[in-house]
Each structure stands twice: as structure tokens, then as C-alpha cells.
Amino acid sequence: MTKITKKSLDSPISDGNAESAKPVFHDPKNDIRIYQGDCLAVMAALPEESVDLIFADPPYFLSNDGITCHAGKMVSVNKGDWDKSRGADANHEFNRAWLAACQRLLKPNGSIWVSGTSHVIHSVGFAMQQLEFKLLNDISWVKPNPPPNLSCRYFTHATETIIWAAKNKKSRHTFNYRLMKEENGGKQMKSVWPVLPPGREEKRFGKHPAQKPLALLERVIRASSNEGDLVLDPFMGGGTTAVAAARCSRTVLGIERDDEFLSTTLSRITAELIFVAMTAVSASIDLDLLGRSMDRSMCDENTAMDALKTGKLVRRERSFYFVGSHRREVVYSVVAPDMEEAIQKFSASTQSGVEILMVVKTETEIYLAE
């Protein structure tokens, strides 16, 4: 699968261009909008009291040149300039600013979840009190297999805190209590949630250094919103909130400024929206008089195809299928050597005015056994 190149998308938002906010990705069928830019600038351009639920995973300010353990190896804790501390006062003012912007966007009965470690979560909680949010719960996300503490001078860090708060003290927030009780085997769900970190499948399009597991986000969304509600993530990262919201039949609004993380987000979202089923049948035919035809299409691990590839390649063909945004179907297809030529041919076709969600590329190879 290949997504539309970034150049073909709408212009991202810069800090001084908030009034002309345009999403870099928009799926009108499922109402998914992704913006690129500074979250404060983007949120300033969005309508007041328009969001039902917010999940935010802000910078933890952990990048202090320390070390940690990952996959059994000693690695740096530095994630990027966006995660470097600017001092306690500046960090807190940043938290107040983006939380105030979120509060403006929340509907009267809307709520917000914010995750963090001890490096940031106390500032977040204090800022929420200053802004007069209504604090509802603090969830302890327990990681069953945390990395060991290499310095051996602290307890192993095995939890993160997620604060759940309503817009203000008058809010009548959504809580799907019966659903949560049902998912917990008929017992009231507690505020301690053991959830495994993201697995390999969740990172196949790329990974974010602070990526949250889909299971965690899906529970948050199911617990505190209803189908059709609008979910906002002002620090989209690798797109977990968007994928979880789409799976839970919620509409999505996400913001991310980093090109690499944005690319991962778009790849994950388009993979969720488009399912391509392809069947390949491999037939091995012996032209000798005593030979037989054999259909090997049910063989495991493409053993027939592996055998054929030892032969002579006689044909290779690349096809590109353009899938529409509004009409969720293939609106144009073409054989071309690469994506650039395929887009040129699409632009010159009668379908060039159709809004495209994504492009699917397939490759066909034909071998003759020697």
C-alpha cells in the first residue's frame, strides 16, 4: 500500500497561519481530519465547544541525556528537542497553555485524559486545578514487563498515570459504566489497568518513542464517549488515538507537527480504512507428455512461488489503483513503472477531479521454470 505523497496534500499550518487551517489528511466518509502544525496554533483555529473527548500525551520532558534499557540494550532516553525540559516554570506554563486551549474546545459535558510520568503529570494536575477542570480519576497504567532500572538506585518504573477530568465542575461527563463493568467480568473496573505495551503489529508502519498501546486507547474511548463523538488528540505522535477512535466508530481530529510521525500516522490510518483482499494462484505445469497440472494455491508459505522464482523472469508489471475519498472504490487504475508516472497519468485522465484517499500499488512477476 502506498499513500498519496505529502506534496499532494493541503498546506500544513505554521505558527502564524492558524486562521487558514486546512487538514493534511481528510476522510469525509469517516470524518477523520489530521492537521500538521503547532497544536496551539491549530486549536486556536478550531471552533469553541466542538469536541466531545480529548486524549493528550504531551511531552514528558524526559530527554536529559540519561540512559535506559530497550530490548536488553543500553540506549539513550533522548527522544528529540520536543521532549527537552525548558525548566519547571516554562514547562508548567506550556502545560497551562495547551490545557486552556483544550478546555475552550471541549463541549460543556466533554472530558479529557492526559497521560504522563512523574516528570510532567504533577504539573498537568496542578494546571488542571488552576483552570478549574473537574478531576474525575487518576488511572495507573501498569506495564507488566517494564525495562529494568540500570542504575539500581531506584525502583523499576512500571507505571504511567493518566488523569481523567471533565471540562468544569458543572459538566455531566459521559461514563459508560455498564460497559466497563461488563468488560471487567461483571465487577466494577478499578483505576489500576495492566495493559501490555504496543506489540510488533502496532509498529509495522513505524514507531513513536512514547507510543501507547491500542488496547489502552480503545478502553479510554469506549469508557468516556459514544459512537459518532468527536475525539481530539493535540499530540498525535504515531496515530494510536486516531486508529483507536476509528475502530470505535468515533470521528477523529488529530494534530502533529513532526514529518516522520505524521507519515506513520497517515500510513496507519489508511491501512485501517482500506482493506484489500488479493488471491494469488500458482500453477506448475509440466509440458512433458507424462506430466500433470497441479494447483498449488493452498500450499503454505508460498512454496510454489518460491520454486518458480528459481526460473527465468519473463514479465514484471506494476499497477496503481487510485481509491476515492467520497466514493470508497477504485476510480482509476494504470500500469506504470513508478508512482510519479502513475500520478501524472491520473492527472491527465478524466478522473483527475476526483478527491483521492490513497493509492494501492501491486506488482506481478511471471517466471518460466528452467
What pLDDT does residue 325 have?
A: 79
Instruction: Please give the share of the chain, as a percent, with pLDDT higher than 70.
Output: 76
For the cut 90, the answer to whether the pLDDT of residue 69 exceeds it is no
For the cut 70, the answer to whether the pLDDT of residue 18 exceeds it is no
For residues 32 and 271, which has the higher predicted lDDT (pLDDT)?
32
User: Number of structural domains, the chain?
Assistant: 2
Domain that holds residue 323: 283-368
Q: Are 173 and 225 in a shared domain?
A: yes
The answer as to whether 2 is a domain residue is: no
DSSP tag of 227? T
Instruction: Please give the share of the chain, as a percent, with pLDDT higher than 90.
Output: 49
Q: Are 138 and 194 in a shared domain?
A: yes
Q: Are 96 and 215 in a shared domain?
A: yes
* Cα–Cα dist 319/148, whole Å: 48
Nearest to 233 by CA among 60, 79, 53, 22: 53
What pLDDT does residue 10 have?
A: 37
Angular region, 72: left φ>0, alpha ψ -120 to 50, beta rest: left
| Residue 256's CATH number | 3.40.50.150
What pLDDT does residue 72 have?
A: 53
Q: Are 138 and 208 in a shared domain?
A: yes
For residues 146 and 46, which has the higher predicted lDDT (pLDDT)?
46
The answer as to whether 1 is a domain residue is: no
* Cα–Cα dist 207/197, whole Å: 12
For the cut 60, the answer to whether the pLDDT of residue 221 exceeds it is yes
Q: Are 153 and 287 in a shared domain?
A: no
For residues 66 and 43, which has the higher predicted lDDT (pLDDT)?
43
What pLDDT does residue 285 have?
A: 45
For residues 132 and 281, which has the higher predicted lDDT (pLDDT)?
132
What pLDDT does residue 296 have?
A: 42
Q: Are 116 and 235 in a shared domain?
A: yes
Cell of 48: 469553541
The answer as to whether 300 is a domain residue is: yes
In this structure, the chain runs to a length of 370
The bridge status of strand 283-285 relative to strand 73-76 is: unpaired
360 and 2 Cβ atoms separated by less than 8 Å: yes
Cell of 310: 528459481
The answer as to whether 278 is a domain residue is: no
Claim: this prediction has a pTM higher than 0.95: no
Between CA 146 and CA 186, with CA 225 as vertex, the angle to 5 degrees is 65
The answer as to whether 5 is a domain residue is: no
For the cut 90, the answer to whether the pLDDT of residue 249 exceeds it is yes
Q: Are 251 and 302 in a shared domain?
A: no
Q: Are 182 and 85 in a shared domain?
A: yes
Q: Are 259 and 127 in a shared domain?
A: yes
Q: Are 125 and 149 in a shared domain?
A: yes
